[in-house]
Chain A
C-alpha cells in the first residue's frame, strides 16, 4: 500500500475567533485545575445509549463519557486523531488502516483494543438495535466493513472510493465490548444503557464518567482519571473535577441563572433577544459574551416538487416552477429579515453553504438582489399578473395567486421569518397563508403524508463536508427536502447534481472535489429548489470564571472539547 500519510499533521492552522473570546492560554501553563462546571440543557436525556437516541442531551452525555476514533475539530473543521493516532489510506481509496493508541483503558480499567471497535460497528449495524446511526455510517448507501488486523490496528473498508474517509467516524462513540456484548448477543442492545441503568454501568473512554442522574433535575459527571488524552505539556486531562448538567426547560429561567452566575454556560447558543441583558452582565464583568461570526445554517423555504403532488389543483401550472422560487428570492428583502428576526445580527445568504463553511463555500455564488420589479417579471413569465388592477396577482383564469406556508410553533425565528416572507410577498401581490403547526404535526405532514405546499424550516447539516450529507444532495436521499426518495431523478438538473456528487464523493483530489462541488452549488442556485435568506450570527455566553474556552461555530459551540475546559476558583 502506498501511504498517503495523514497523521498528526492536520490541515490549516487554527483560525482565531473574533470578539473578546478567551482563547487558549499558553499550553498547559497557568490553566487552573479542579472545580465544578455548571452547564444547562433544555431537555431531559432520553437514554444514555447514543446508538438509539440522538437528541442534544444524549449527545452531550455521549461526548462527555465516550470517545471516538477520530474527532472533527469544530474550530478548524478538520479531522484530528483521537483514539486512532494515525491512519493510512490505500491507493484505491477504499481501505483505511487505523493505528490505535496503545495503553488506553476504559473508565473501569479494562483495556481498549480493536475488538471494541469491531464490536461497536457490529452493534450499530445490528437490525435489532435499531440504531439511527446505521444510516449515517454509510458511504454511497453501503455499509462499511471493519476488521481487526491486530489488537491495535483496525481496517475499515468502503465499498466504493470515499474521499472524506475517516471523517465519517466522528459520528461513532466506541462502546465497551466487555459491558455490552451480552446485550448484543441477546438482541437487546437497543434497550441497554437506558435511563434506569445505574451510572456505574456506563463505562467509556471519554473525559468524564456519569456519577449521578436525578430525573428531571440534573446529571453529574466526575473526571475520569483514566482518560487517555493529555494536555500539550503532557499533564493529565480533563482539567475539571466535576461537570454538572442542569435541566432547565425554559429559556428565560436559563438566562436569568446565567446572569446571576448560578450556571456557567448554556449548551445552546444565545438568541438575539437575549443579547442586551447579557451585554449588561458582560460589561459588569460577570460573564463573557463571545461573537463567533455568521453561522453555518440558514432557515430555508422549499416547495413540494414531487411530480403530480398538485394534480387536479389549478395552481399546478405555476406552483412547482423555478420562477416562483426565484421570484420569492428576489422579492424578500434579506436585510429586512435580518433586522426583524435577528435584530440585524445576521448576514444574507443565497445558497445552502454559507461563508462560515470555509472549505466548501463557493465565492462565486451569485447574490440575488432585492428587486421587486424583477420578481414581478418572473411571475409574469409563469402567467401570474395583476389582471384586474387590485394589486393582487391572478392566473389566466383570474384565480388569485396564493399558497400555504407551513412552519413550526415555538420557534420565534421561524414564525417571524414566515411573517416577513408573507408581508414581502404581499407587496408584490402574492398571498401567503402562514400556518404554524406543532413540531410533530409538521413532521407528519412533511414526511408521512407529503400533503404540503411549502415549508419554512431549519434543517441542520450534520457536517461541513457535503460528502457526509448525501441524503440531502442526492435525488434518492431521504433528506432531499423538496422531493424525497426519488427512484430516478425527476429533472435534468437533479440528475446533473447526482453525477457531480457521485464524482465528488469518490475523487481523492481535494482540488477536484472543490471544483466539482462549486459546480453543484452553481446548478443548485440556478434552479433554487430551496430558498435561503439569512444566516444568523452565533453568540455564546459563559461566566467569567470559565477559562481555556475554545468556542466554535458548529454545535455544541462551547462543549465540543470538554476535556480542555477549566474554571478559575
Chain B
C-alpha cells in the first residue's frame, strides 16, 4: 500500500470532487441553455449573407500597436466568395456593446461586423447562438427521452428478470422486435400518416416518445441479466423472507444493483438521441429549419471540408462531449456496494 501524507485525507475524496465538477458542468450548461436569449448575441435564424462559413471573430483587448482598449473584434472581409475565404481587416476596430437590447454582449456594428464567437455556418448564422438555442431542443429531447427509455427499459427488464419463465421470454422477444425493426421505416410511415405541418411541440413529443421506445431495449437486456442473477443473492432472498413485497425487493434492492450499468447506458444514449434527431429529419420527421438543434447542425457540417477548412462547425460535437463527460462524472458511482448494505426498515 502506498503512503499518502495525512493532509490528503482531509480533502474530499476524488470521487466527490469529480462528481461536483460534473454537477458544475451540468449547471453551467443548464444556465447557458435556458438563458440563451440573453447570452446569445443573435437570434438563431439571423443570417448574414456576406459571411457564409466565416471563421470565429475572437475578441481582443490589445491592438497591433500594443494599446489597450475595451474588448473589440476585427471584422471579416470576403476575399473569394466561391472558395469562402476571408481575411481579417485589422485596420478597423469594432468595439463590443454590453447589456443592450436584452442581450449580454453584441458587436456595435452588427450589420457589417457581427460578433461570431464560434464562426458562422453555411447559411451565415452565428454558430454560438445556435449552439445555445439548439441546446434547449437537443438536450431537452435527449434527456427526457433517455429518462423515458430508462423507466420503460428498467421496468421491462426488471420484471422479466424477476419473474422469469414465459413472461421473461415474451418480454425479451418484444424488446428484440423493437430493437431490430428499423426505426427509419417506422418514421417514414409515420410521416406519411401525420399532417404535413407539425408544430415544434408536437415534433418534440413525438420524437421523445419514439426515442424512449427505441432506447428501452438497451436497458431492458442488461437490467434483466443483472436482476436475474441478483435475485438469488442472500440479501434479496432475505428481504423476501422478511416479508418484503415483490415490488419492494425489485425497486429497493435489485434495480439499484443495475445502477452502474444504467449509468453507462444513459451516457451512451444521450448523444445517440441527439444524432438520431438529425437522422429522422432526413425522412422529414424532425424539427423544421430554422429551428436549431445540435444534431442538424452537425449534419449540415458533415462534409470532408469541415476538418480542414471549417473546424468551428464541429462545436456541437465538443458540446456533446462536455455533456457526456458531465453526465458520466455525476452518474458513475463506483462506491456502491449495495449487497452489503442492510435494510433496517422492515417491521
Asked if the two chains touch in their complex, CB atoms less than 8 Å apart, one says: yes
Provide the main secondary structure of the chain B interface: loop
Q: In the complex the two chains form, is A276's CB within 8 Å of B305's CB? A: yes
Report A325-367 CB contacts with B as 1/0, cut-off 8 Å: 0000000000010011001110000000000000000000000
Q: In the complex the two chains form, is B123's CB within 8 Å of A416's CB? A: yes
Kindly list chain B residues whose C-beta atoms are within 8 Å of the C-beta of A410: 282
Q: In the complex the two chains form, is A423's CB within 8 Å of B304's CB? A: no
Point out the residue from A256, A345, A423, A436 that lies within 8 Å of B284, measured CB to CB.
A436
Q: Does A132 contact B (CB under 8 A)?
A: no
Q: Does B147 contact A (CB under 8 A)?
A: no
Kindly list chain B residues whose C-beta atoms are within 8 Å of the C-beta of A434: 288-289
Distance in angstroms from B287 CB to nearest chain A CB is 11
Stretch among B56-64, B81-89, B131-139 lining the A interface: B81-89
Q: In the complex the two chains form, is A343's CB within 8 Å of B304's CB? A: no
Q: How large is the interface on B (under 10, 10 to 19, 20 to 34, 35 or more residues)?
A: 20 to 34
Q: In the complex the two chains form, is B305's CB within 8 Å of A419's CB? A: no
Q: In the complex the two chains form, is A404's CB within 8 Å of B83's CB? A: no
Cα-based distance from A340 to B125 in the complex (angstroms): 12
CB-nearest residue of chain A to B198: A435
Q: In the complex the two chains form, is A276's CB within 8 Å of B85's CB? A: yes
Q: In the complex the two chains form, is A435's CB within 8 Å of B197's CB? A: yes
Q: In the complex the two chains form, is B83's CB within 8 Å of A275's CB? A: yes
Point out the residue from A276, A344, A438 that lies within 8 Å of B191, measured CB to CB.
A438
Kindly list chain A residues whose C-beta atoms are within 8 Å of the C-beta of B205: none
CB-nearest residue of chain A to B80: A276
- For chain A, residues 391 to 429, give those with C-beta under 8 angstroms from any C-beta of chain B: 404, 406, 409-410, 415-416, 419, 423
Q: Does B188 contact A (CB under 8 A)?
A: yes
Given known contacts A404-B196, A404-B197, A277 and B304 CB-to-CB distance under 8 angstroms:
yes
Q: Does B308 contact A (CB under 8 A)?
A: yes
Q: Does A252 contact B (CB under 8 A)?
A: yes
Given known contacts A409-B283, A438-B282, A438-B283, A415 and B289 CB-to-CB distance under 8 angstroms:
yes
Distance in angstroms from A47 CB to nearest chain B CB is 25
- For chain B, residues 279 to 337, give those with C-beta under 8 angstroms from any C-beta of chain A: 281-284, 288-290, 302-305, 308-309
Q: In the complex the two chains form, is A343's CB within 8 Å of B303's CB? A: no
Kindly list chain B residues whose C-beta atoms are within 8 Å of the C-beta of A443: none
Q: Does B207 contact A (CB under 8 A)?
A: no
Report B31-48 CB contacts with A as 1/0, cut-off 8 Å: 000000000000001010
Cα-based distance from A274 to B305 in the complex (angstroms): 8
Cα-based distance from A435 to B284 in the complex (angstroms): 7
Cα-based distance from A423 to B43 in the complex (angstroms): 14
Cα-based distance from A433 to B290 in the complex (angstroms): 11
Report A43-60 CB contacts with B as 1/0, cut-off 8 Å: 000000000000000000
Given known contacts A279-B83, A343-B82, A419-B290, A273 and B303 CB-to-CB distance under 8 angstroms:
yes
CB-nearest residue of chain B to A291: B82
CB-nearest residue of chain A to B78: A344
Kindly list chain B residues whose C-beta atoms are within 8 Å of the C-beta of A343: 52, 81-82, 84
Distance in angstroms from B77 CB to nearest chain A CB is 15
Point out the residue from B47, B81, B192 that lies within 8 Å of A423, measured CB to CB.
B47
Cα-based distance from A345 to B80 in the complex (angstroms): 11
Q: In the complex the two chains form, is B284's CB within 8 Å of A441's CB? A: yes
Distance in angstroms from A276 CB to nearest chain B CB is 4
Cα-based distance from A279 to B85 in the complex (angstroms): 12
Cα-based distance from A444 to B193 in the complex (angstroms): 13
Q: Does A272 contact B (CB under 8 A)?
A: yes
Q: In the complex the two chains form, is B85's CB within 8 Å of A441's CB? A: no
Given known contacts A409-B282, A434-B288, A436-B284, A277 and B82 CB-to-CB distance under 8 angstroms:
no
Q: Identify 20 new A-B residue pairs, CB closer than 8 A, beyond the known A345-B82, A441-B284.
A: A252-B302, A272-B82, A273-B303, A275-B82, A275-B83, A276-B83, A279-B83, A340-B49, A340-B52, A343-B82, A409-B281, A409-B283, A409-B284, A416-B122, A435-B196, A435-B197, A436-B284, A438-B188, A438-B282, A438-B283
Smallest CB-CB A-B distances: 7 pairs: A276-B83, A344-B81, A252-B304, A437-B284, A433-B197, A343-B82, A438-B283
- Residues of B in contact with A (beta carbons under 8 Å apart): 45, 47, 49-50, 52, 81-85, 122-124, 188, 191-192, 196-197, 281-284, 288-290, 302-305, 308-309
Listed by A's residue number, 24 A-B pairs whose Cβ atoms lie within 8 Å are A273-B305, A275-B83, A276-B309, A279-B82, A336-B49, A339-B50, A339-B52, A340-B124, A343-B81, A344-B81, A404-B196, A410-B282, A416-B122, A416-B123, A419-B123, A423-B47, A434-B288, A435-B284, A435-B288, A436-B289, A438-B188, A438-B283, A441-B188, A441-B191
